[in-house]
């Protein structure tokens, strides 16, 4: 997110609070944590806005001024800026046509410019246990007390070792630390969802083919609720301009969120509303960039029911005899962790051949 973005101030304040909560927990000596808990907290540090942008830009040419894209970003640019970046607003979507082939274009489907309003929303009753004393103090949330150290840039955050105070029992102090841990985890999980849902989703139209890239966009299926947190898929489907472009058969579908249970509309509602319209076995190549055993046990990534459903709709379906037992002998989309064209064991990628229309 652009640090100067006027409609992402609350989201950035939330991210900084999540960063500090996660860092304070990871820096505490002797605090035993489950591997999944630790992974979640580490993501809040490693996927911070500053770190992510640095990683993305490493070794790449830079364009000044930097442009942070959104579905409707073209509306917020001057004519000179649109010409500079070769962007235009076509049927409600920002479109990039800076290719030699003028029929080739990239259409931005998400995120929306208004990040705070669409993806963060107001705090709920469930949030207030940890939002009130922390997040509501930040300047972005309008507290009269002004900014606190929670709103400082990540580089200015400090670590603090917590020692047992003399005026509280060991038992009560352990309960207090447990509540702090819960708050830190809650911040980290909410921040993780926020980052996923502001992923750039774009459609590449090339030689008559449609290729959809979905980043880490999440699916909720509850529709857009004003003033609340909304998933990227719900926001896209709520916009008539986006849904008119999105809900047509694809030639390639890059599955969101590494094949997570909440990254693709594949339940009964999602299949009827979305998946059956964008994926067909005679046309759609489906790709999952994933690795087994990294993300949790309750809903492991990749999620077996999702891959089974996608396998039924993939033109490039595969059977991987050596995969996890829940999917053995079942058709699946192509997976980076089970099919690699690279001789470098540290690199997983696969190739899909899509012939242009004559």
Q: Which residues contact 243 (CB under 8 A, 6 or more apart)?
A: 236, 237
pLDDT of residue 137: 52
Q: What is the DSSP letter of 236?
A: H
Token pair for residue 346?
A: 């540290």
**pLDDT bracket for residue 156 (50, 70, 90):** very low
CA–CA distances in Å: residue 340 to residues 271, 314, 320, 337, 345: 29, 18, 13, 7, 9
| pLDDT at site 168 | 56
Rounded distance between C-alpha atoms, residue 78 and residue 296, angstroms: 45
Share of the chain above pLDDT 70, in %: 74
User: What is the radius of gyration, based on Cα positions, of the chain?
Assistant: 22
Q: Which range is most confident: 228-232, 314-318, 348-352?
A: 314-318
Q: How far is CA 207 from the centre of its chain?
A: 29
Could you give the number of structural domains in the chain? 2
Query: Are 226 and 312 members of one domain?
Result: yes
56-60, 191-195, 327-331: least confident range: 56-60
**Between these two residues, 299 and 112, which has the higher pLDDT value?**
112
- Comparing CA positions, the residue from 241, 213, 219 lying closest to residue 231 is 219
Residue 164 shares a structural domain with residue 101: no
Domain termination site, one of 195, 222, 241: 195
pLDDT at residue 296 tops 80: no
Query: In 3D, which of 268, 163, 282 has the Cα closest to residue 219?
Result: 268
Same domain? For 226 and 187 the reply is no
Distance, in Å, from the CA atom of 311 to the CA atom of 303, rounded to the nearest integer, reads: 12
**What is d(CA 258, CA 289) in angstroms, rounded to the nearest whole number?**
5
pLDDT at 60 exceeding the cut of 80: no
Do 299 and 168 have their domain in common?
Answer: no
Kindly state whether residues 127 and 176 are assigned to the same domain: yes
47 lies in the same domain as 157: yes
pLDDT at 264 over 60: yes
Give the pLDDT score at 259.
94
Q: What is the pLDDT of residues 162-177, one digit of tens each?
A: 455 555 566 555 555 5
Asked if residue 133 is part of any domain, the answer here is: yes
Whether 349 maps to a domain, the answer reads: no
Domain contains 66: no
Tell whether 174 is covered by a domain: yes
Residues 211 and 182 in one domain: no
Q: What is the pLDDT of residue 169?
A: 64
Query: What does DSSP say about strands 318-319 and 209-213: parallel, antiparallel, or unpaired?
Result: unpaired
pLDDT tens-digit readout, 201-241 = 999 999 999 999 999 999 999 899 887 889 999 999 999 99
Q: Both 240 and 273 in a single domain?
A: yes
> Does 158 score more than 70 pLDDT?
no
Whole-prediction pTM: 0.80
Residue 346 inside a domain? The answer is no
Are 168 and 206 in the same domain? no
Strand partners for 89: 94
- From 137, 172, 195, the end of a domain falls on 195
pLDDT at 312 over 60: yes
Asked whether residue 161 carries a pLDDT value surpassing 50, the answer given is no
Place of tokens 């996923």: 196
More confident residue, 296 or 312: 312
Lowest mean pLDDT among 96-100, 152-156, 270-274, 349-353: 152-156
CA 131/CA 206 separation, integer angstroms: 46
Average pLDDT of the chain is: 80
Tell me the per-residue pLDDT of 66-113, one tens digit each, with 9 for 90 and over.
788 999 999 999 999 999 999 999 999 999 999 999 899 999 999 999
How far CA 208 is from CA of 56, 105, 176, in Å, comes to 29, 11, 60
**105 and 213 fall within a common domain:** yes
C-beta of residue 292 within 8 angstroms of C-beta of residue 300: yes
| 218 and 317 fall within a common domain | yes
Residue 155 pLDDT exceeds 50 = no
Evaluate whether residue 253 is within a structural domain.
yes
The half-sphere exposure of 48 on its side-chain side, counting CA atoms within 13 A, is 19
- Of 167, 195, 223, which residue sits at a domain end? 195
Whether 211 is covered by a domain: the verdict is yes
Any idea which residue has 């300047």 for tokens? Answer: 139
What phi-psi label fits residue 303: left (phi over 0), alpha (psi between -120 and 50 degrees) or beta?
beta
The Cα–Cα gap between 121 and 298 comes to 27
Percent of the residues in the chain that have a pLDDT greater than 90, as a whole number: 43
The residue range of the domain holding 20 is: 9-51+123-195
Least reliable range by pLDDT among 21-35, 126-140, 215-229, 301-315: 126-140
pLDDT at 148: 28
Phi, psi at 7, each rounded to 5° = -110, 30
**280 shares a domain with 144:** no
At residue 324 the predicted structure's pLDDT band, cuts being 50, 70 and 90, is: confident
Average pLDDT over residues 47-56: 65
Q: Considering the domain boundaries, does residue 186 fall inside one?
A: yes
């Amino acid at each position: 997110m652009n640090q100067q973005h006027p409609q992402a101030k609350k989201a950035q304040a939330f991210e900084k609070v999540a960063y500090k909560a996660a860092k304070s927990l990871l820096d505490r000596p002797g605090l035993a944590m489950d591997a999944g808990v630790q992974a979640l907290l580490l993501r809040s540090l490693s996927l911070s806005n500053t770190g992510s942008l640095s990683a993305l830009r490493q070794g790449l040419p830079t364009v000044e001024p930097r442009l942070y894209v959104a579905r409707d970003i073209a509306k917020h640019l001057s004519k000179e800026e649109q010409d500079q970046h070769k962007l235009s607003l076509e049927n409600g979507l920002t479109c990039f046509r800076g290719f030699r082939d003028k029929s080739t274009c990239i259409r931005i489907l998400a995120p929306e410019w208004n990040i705070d309003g669409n993806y963060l929303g107001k705090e709920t009753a469930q949030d207030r246990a940890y939002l009130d004393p922390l997040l509501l103090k930040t300047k972005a949330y309008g507290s009269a007390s002004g900014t606190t150290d929670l709103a400082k840039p990540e580089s200015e955050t400090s670590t603090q070792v917590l020692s047992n105070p003399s005026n509280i029992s060991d038992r009560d102090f352990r309960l207090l630390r447990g509540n702090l841990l819960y708050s830190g985890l809650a911040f980290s999980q909410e921040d993780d969802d926020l980052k996923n849902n502001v992923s750039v989703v774009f459609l590449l139209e090339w030689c008559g083919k449609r290729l959809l890239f979905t980043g880490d966009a999440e699916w909720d299926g509850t529709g857009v609720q004003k003033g609340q947190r909304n998933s990227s898929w719900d926001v896209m489907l709520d916009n008539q301009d986006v849904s008119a472009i999105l809900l047509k058969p694809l030639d390639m579908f890059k599955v969101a969120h590494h094949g997570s249970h909440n990254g693709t509309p594949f339940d009964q509602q999602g299949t009827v509303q979305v998946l059956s319209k964008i994926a067909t076995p005679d046309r759609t190549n489906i790709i999952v960039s994933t690795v087994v055993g990294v993300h949790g046990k309750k809903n492991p990534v990749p999620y077996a029911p999702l891959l089974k459903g996608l396998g039924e709709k993939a033109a490039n379906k595969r059977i991987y005899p050596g995969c996890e037992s829940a999917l053995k002998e079942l058709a699946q989309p192509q997976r980076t962790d089970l099919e690699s064209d690279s001789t470098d064991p540290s690199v997983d990628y696969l190739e899909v051949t899509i012939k242009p229309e004559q």
